Amino acid sequence: MEIPITFHSDEKGYFDRECPNENCLYVFKVFMEDWKEKISDEEVHCPMCGHTDTSDKWWTQKQLADIKKTAVNFLSGYVQRELDKSLRNLENSTRGNKFVKISYKPSHRLTFVNNPLGQSSEWEREVVCPKCEIRYSVIGTAYFCPCCGYNLVEESFEESLDSIVKMLDSLPEMENLFCHSYGKDKSTTMIRSIVEGSLGDIISAYQKFAEVICNQITSSEVRPNDFQMIEKGSCLFSKATGKGYDAFLTKEELSFLNLMFQRRHLMVHNGGIVDEQYIYKSNDNSYIVGQRLVIRANDILRLVNTIKKLATGIKMLR
């Protein structure tokens, strides 16, 4: 038995999909025409986590519920029709019987209407893969193309930095909201955590970006943590292309970049408590051993601008 089920796209022409990886379940949209014509039956990639699976595994929870509801309605109508036939036959079989007579009056008949199933409302952000040109739509940052799995590291890197800037610009409003909900003390602590966390987010985004770009221009082995160290990252690009970080940044900018990378290292590995190694590697004499770093929003914004300038130069090396 087959139940024909069709789907409508949203108003922009996109079709809802959901990652089958239970640790992800990321919902995204693929242009319906591209899903039919370009997506492989054997391989679809999650834009968020990169999970790969066959094309029949990407139903959203709502789609599965709608399919189940359609199937139940169809089967209810089918069962009623078959029951009607059986009871009608039974009624007819007792005609002329002097001892037993069965009559049957059908109840309200169930009507199955096979309407096409729709999608959720369209989203703002639409992406076109630079490699296979498939069209898809996401909320927030996406890292992989659903069709070919292309790593959108440049797009996600820029999106991550822009999101951090917007978050920092919203700190006063966030602090007021936190203060109203949790009180002044917790509000201050939460805002400090956001600022400190953004330092790690920026450097993590950069190291992934630099790793991918470097792999595109050299066959040498490159590890992600190579780009947590300014001198080592610069040497890798210099060895591959003849140009290191100093081709794009001033000495002052390089010094500041090294300072912030060392601060990130200290925050992650020593809880922000200054030690001799930090002072030696960063040349930061504004602290003494045993003090705790203070990460300020204006330094984070300056870091974003410096990283963007460096990234623009690095992209030109390809």
Position 81 pLDDT exceeds 90: no
8-12, 78-82, 307-311 — most confident range: 307-311
pTM higher than the cut 0.95 = no
CB contact at 8 A, 18 and 30: no
* pLDDT bracket for residue 112 (50, 70, 90): very low
pLDDT of residue 307 exceeding 80, the answer is yes
Considering the chain, what is the average pLDDT of its residues? 88
Percent residues over pLDDT 70 in the chain:
85
- What are the pLDDT digits (tens) for 187-227? 999 999 999 999 999 999 999 899 989 988 988 788 868 99
Domain coordinates of the chain in residue numbers?
1-151, 153-315
